[in-house]
Amino acid sequence: MIENDDEFISLVDDFLESSREIRNAAEMCGGEPIKQEMIAHIAKEFGEVWQRSEALQVLMKKDYENCREYILQEIKEITAINYDIARRIKNKLKPIVWN
């Protein structure tokens, strides 16, 4: 049962934090097209990870108990990718963001 799985809950908390990091990094664009273009290749990768997350969500709903280990590993991998995406966005935009 997911509700009683402390490891799952901890991993999901970390996943949510990694998603917030991406959002915060992307907000550095401030809606400016030049900045958005600078990270367009990273945004494409984010889309691929998002699809992976959506597929994992379906699997969790259908067969969590039988696929638990796979699901936990996927959450770990997706979270690591999210943090990497956020870091790369920040590194790319940091030199041109003054405020």
pLDDT for residue 93: 92
pTM confidence score: 0.87
pLDDT for residue 81: 97
pLDDT for residue 76: 98
* Chain-centroid distance, C-alpha 19: 4
pLDDT for residue 98: 63
Give the three-class secondary structure for 95: helix
pLDDT for residue 95: 85
Domain residue limits, the chain: 2-96
The low-confidence residues of the chain, meaning pLDDT below 50, are: none
pLDDT for residue 27: 93
CA neighbor of 57 nearest in space, from 99, 96, 19: 19
Instruction: Scan for tokens 């935009």, then name that residue.
Output: 93
